[in-house]
Structure 1
Amino acid sequence: MIEFILPLFGRFHPILVHLPIGILAFGIILVFLSEKGTSKHLDSIRLAFLLGGIFAVISSISGFLQYQYEGFTWETVQFHFFFGWATAIASFWLFYEVNKANSNPKNLKLKAAGLFGLMLFTGHLGGNITHGEEYLIEVLPPEMQSLIGYEIEPEKGLVLPEQGWEELAYYDEVVQPILNQNCKSCHNPKNLKGELDLTSFDKMLEGGEDGSILTAGNAKESALYSRLVLPKEDEDHMPPEEKRQPEKEAIELIRAWIDLGATKSAKLGESNIDTETLEPFFHRVEKPFYPELAVDPATEESLSNLKAEGFFAEKVSETSNWLMISCVNFQSFSDQDWSKLGAVKNQIAYLDMTGTQVTDAILDSLNTLPNLTVLKLNQTGISGDNLQVLNENKNLKHLYLNETKVDLSSIQALKEHPLLEKVFAFDTPLAEKEVSEKFKFILETGNYQLPALPTDTIVY
């Protein structure tokens, strides 16, 4: 009946360890507040070092019991254990030094500082055990990590290909990466929480202190799954509430693997998992919106001249040399003003000529902008008769022709454009009729109508 006492006392270690830390820190502060050769605060300093030493001993004993009953390896805790006892001994030694003196002993501040350093290092080792050796380091910028000699590679977790995922080895390429990211820090050969190692299939089959964690074919009866779906506030929920929690889709993948038989040979495609569950883990390479080319930055003189003419001219981002040029404050811009953009023609990726005086003649000039990606010709005299010349702007992705005279034949001239993604033609002759023809790009003509609701006819 009383067998639970020692394991319970061991589990109090994370609580008890804060007592000596607080008491000794208080005593050390009093040391530095005291003047040399005086007895001020001496009684309080004696008591702080005595109580700090006593509670350091109690904490060390509870820590040893936690090691014995919680599955930690000796290699993991040994230095923390030895330095914990060293802290206790140093506390008693300082108590002895202060107790035999009638005033603050010589070099007491230096000795107290040494105790403080010892206490900090011991606490750091304890933090490494509970949170991992990289707990403090991982939040530092990569440059600072390198400076102090660390190169941390975080667990990447689950990444799936969009094609061929059905042939993936379910355990090795799906389940194990999930466990590595969410469970490995507490269940590994050095930190055997619950005497459970989740770093390999064979170790998982061995189970932990409560026996097997897998019941093949029945996820609900398997601790590996059932603990994941417990409420976070439940003490049996895993991972602990303060730790990183796996995505619900990752938990569903573990459930399906266990229900499939929890074997090492199963393929992901053999399960009842749908692509919606796999969606968050698909590997996608995000293509940059603007061209992947290196261009020289526009000169400050060129930008100043543009702004002096009335153009809005800025970089599209702080890390890019591509320019955004707008005529929002230069509504008198016309075909004849095109030459004013010549100095930055290679850098222009975004050009907005909305509301200006340009005509179809400007389209031939646009060929000189090799990296043009977004073009806005809203509210201009563009009729669209010569719109096919924009096929030469190979990087063009978004084209705005709202409130112009473009029609269906104008847009058809762009259907072979290599990169065009969206064309906007609101309030145009094209928008007045229903377009059934399909294009490779998205054609937006507006005139959207919401379906009528029964409540729309209610008179209050």
Structure 2
Amino acid sequence: MNALILVQAVAAQPSDWALFFGRFHPLIVHLPIGFLVVAGILEAGRRLGKIGVDDSTITAVLFWSAVSATMACVFGYLLSLGGGYDEEILDEHMWQGIGVAGFAWVAWAVKSDWLGDRIPLGSVLYVPALVVSLVLLAVAGHHGGSLTHGSDYLTQYTPEPFRTLAGLPPRAEAVAMKPITDVNQALVYEQIVNPILQSRCVQCHNAEKSKGDLRYDSPEMIRKGGENGPVFVAGKGTDSEMIKRCLLPEEDDHHMPPKGKTQLTEGQVALLTWWIDQGAPFDKKVSDLKVNDAIRPVLAALGGGAPAGGGTAVAATSGPAPESPVLTMKVPAAQPGVIDELKKAGLLVLPLSKEQNQLEVSAVNARSFNDTQAALLPKISDQLVWLKLSDTGITDAALVQVAKLKNLQKLHLAQTKVTDAGLKQLKGLANLEYLNLYGTGITDMGLAELATLSKLRTVYIWQTKVTETGLATLKKARPGLEIIGGINEQAVAEFAKAGQAGDKAIEPAKN
């Protein structure tokens, strides 16, 4: 009885060592798969006379099949201690894995010269044991995929007529963020928030796999939260766990989605933050909520450029938001040759609308973009209004070229090496409204340079060297400027410490 209580206690609070080794299960589990399949192929080929192989070779392969299958069971059990899996599927997967190991040992034993002659009816047991182990391997693999990706992982994309022949239900329509005809009338949760959650979060937080006892697959589950409490604080986006996790460095263990998974875009994080800031409603339209200047262009992009109003319906049009003159002014089309040069440098060049010639340039697929290549940008200074250079190799030298973009409205410099000296170059950007400096080395001195940008409305300074004194100074100089701060290094350390202790998480500042 005491032993049972001890086992239950260990399972309830697994050690770091258990979870560490458990993470190796996906790696080790491929070994028995390979060994058993090879053993099956060799045995079938030998019996059909297609492969010349002696019994000792097959015996050796079966031995390592059994050993690796046993190791996979142990590491799989350690992984399961972390929780977050559908218990019924997990139980079936566990026993199927044990079955694979057990029958692999039987197949090896009756095949080996050492034990085969000592086991009654050994020759009769060999083929059934090998076949059963292969069948269980396939079934266990299916359930393993179900635990990780959902029960319909293998069958989700089964085409017709095979879908009907297999008795599978009609394929459900994938939830995707599709262009919205009238942004103002769009249901915020159903048409904007839920598609983001479905594409980035539900894979690990659903009815069959609920990491941290958290699910994002329905409004009820989102409201419920997880083992650490609610995932959002209505009215406080950046104070909400959902947003804080997204803003952590990707290398941080608490960052979501985990490193290696498709990450949320800045626009998606902005939309989720705005939704929570507005009270996280599940039944309201965009027109029912307040739309600030920072989120307006993000919403407009969902409708192919149609403007979004705040609390007042605005007729859908085909052009960008009219509040920014540079988005509607008449400019000549960019030279095709220049566009080709930019694309050869790895940049994405996208029109903001079909009717206008304004362009967005993004280095999302060109992380090696550098100061030298930045000299290409002024060649489209009339047309370039949105520029995204985050996570690239640029330094202050590139901002000399950026300063020549007279119609630039949005500038993303997150996670680059720009400093205070570079920000001085931006004083001439008379149309700049949005600036993202997340993860850069700017200080109070650089922040003070922004006071001269009269049209600047929003600036992001997460994880910079800006102090509260610098923030207060800029707020005094520019009362209407929205300054969004975030998690500094000290707060990240506190967050990690709190996570290890199981206590409450940090609360990043929004200024």
TM-score by length of 2: 0.48
Tell me, in whole angstroms, the C-alpha distance in 2 between the residues paired with 1:49 and 1:451: 67
Tell me, in whole angstroms, the C-alpha distance in 1 between the residues paired with 2:54 and 2:248: 52
Residue by residue, what CA displacement relative to the aligned partner does 1:388-424 show, whole Å, maximum 9, x if unpaired?
xxxxxxxxxxxxxxxxxxxxxxxxxxxxxxxxxxxxx
Match of 1:44 in 2: 57
Whether the 8 Å contact between 1:31 and 1:109 is mirrored in structure 2 is no
Match of 2:391 in 1: none
Match of 2:395 in 1: none
Tell me, in whole angstroms, the C-alpha distance in 1 between the residues paired with 2:280 and 2:381: 49
Tell me, in whole angstroms, the C-alpha distance in 1 between the residues paired with 2:302 and 2:164: 30
Tell me, in whole angstroms, the C-alpha distance in 2 between the residues paired with 1:451 and 1:95: 72
Whether the 8 Å contact between 1:31 and 1:112 is mirrored in structure 2 is no
Q: CA deviation at 1:168?
A: 5.4
Q: CA deviation at 1:46?
A: 2.8
Q: CA deviation at 1:93?
A: 1.3
Q: What letter is aligned with 2:171? A: I
Please say which of residues 118-127 and 177-186 is displaced more in the overlay. 177-186
Tell me, in whole angstroms, the C-alpha distance in 1 between the residues paired with 2:173 and 2:136: 30
Whether the 8 Å contact between 1:132 and 1:185 is mirrored in structure 2 is yes
Match of 1:16 in 2: 28
Match of 1:220 in 2: 238
Say which one has the larger Rg: 1
Whether the 8 Å contact between 2:278 and 2:290 is mirrored in structure 1 is yes
Match of 1:152 in 2: 171
The residue correspondences of 1:186-265 to structure 2 (distance < 5 A) are 186-230=204-248, 235-240=253-258, 243-264=261-282
The residue correspondences of 1:334-373 to structure 2 (distance < 5 A) are none
Q: What letter is aligned with 2:40? A: I
Question: Structure 2 residue aligned with 1:278, among 282, 295, 299?
Answer: 299
1:63 matched to 2:76: yes
Q: CA deviation at 1:106?
A: 5.7
Tell me, in whole angstroms, the C-alpha distance in 1 between the residues paired with 2:186 and 2:303: 13
The residue correspondences of 1:82-161 to structure 2 (distance < 5 A) are 82-99=95-112, 100-101=115-116, 105=123, 108=126, 111-150=129-168, 151-159=170-178, 161=180
The residue correspondences of 1:383-398 to structure 2 (distance < 5 A) are none
Q: What letter is aligned with 1:61? A: V
Whether the 8 Å contact between 2:150 and 2:209 is mirrored in structure 1 is no
Residue by residue, what CA displacement relative to the aligned partner does 1:239-283 show, whole Å, maximum 9, x if unpaired?
345545555433221011223343557653423355531244339
Q: Considering only aligned residues, what root-mean-square deviation do their CA atoms show, in Å?
A: 4.0
Whether the 8 Å contact between 1:76 and 1:191 is mirrored in structure 2 is no
Tell me, in whole angstroms, the C-alpha distance in 1 between the residues paired with 2:210 and 2:283: 26
Whether the 8 Å contact between 2:106 and 2:126 is mirrored in structure 1 is no
Count, aligned residues? 287
Tell me, in whole angstroms, the C-alpha distance in 2 between the residues paired with 1:51 and 1:95: 9
Residue by residue, what CA displacement relative to the aligned partner does 1:346-366 show, whole Å, maximum 9, x if unpaired?
xxxxxxxxxxxxxxxxxxxxx
Whether the 8 Å contact between 2:150 and 2:208 is mirrored in structure 1 is no
Whether the 8 Å contact between 1:77 and 1:129 is mirrored in structure 2 is yes
Tell me, in whole angstroms, the C-alpha distance in 2 between the residues paired with 1:22 and 1:188: 30
Q: What letter is aligned with 1:27? A: A
1:4 matched to 2:25: no
Tell me, in whole angstroms, the C-alpha distance in 2 between the residues paired with 1:249 and 1:240: 18
Q: CA deviation at 1:72?
A: 0.9
Distance verdict in 2 for CA 1:204–1:33, change over 3 Å: same
Distance verdict in 2 for CA 1:33–1:167, change over 3 Å: closer
Whether the 8 Å contact between 1:229 and 1:237 is mirrored in structure 2 is yes
Give SS of 1:64's match: helix
Residue by residue, what CA displacement relative to the aligned partner does 1:198-227 show, whole Å, maximum 9, x if unpaired?
233443244334444324444334331233
TM-score by length of 1: 0.52
Structure 2: gaps of 5 or more residues: 1-12, 306-354, 356-379, 383-511
Residue by residue, what CA displacement relative to the aligned partner does 1:58-94 show, whole Å, maximum 9, x if unpaired?
3223323323323112123222222111111111111
Give SS of 2:44's match: helix
Tell me, in whole angstroms, the C-alpha distance in 2 between the residues paired with 1:451 and 1:31: 69
Residue by residue, what CA displacement relative to the aligned partner does 1:311-351 show, whole Å, maximum 9, x if unpaired?
xxxxxxxxxxxxxxxxxxxxxxxxxxxxxxxxxxxxxxxxx
Q: What letter is aligned with 1:220? A: T
Distance verdict in 2 for CA 1:19–1:219, change over 3 Å: same
Whether the 8 Å contact between 1:160 and 1:281 is mirrored in structure 2 is yes
Q: CA deviation at 1:130?
A: 1.2
Give SS of 1:228's match: helix
Q: What letter is aligned with 1:131? A: H
Q: CA deviation at 1:107?
A: 8.0
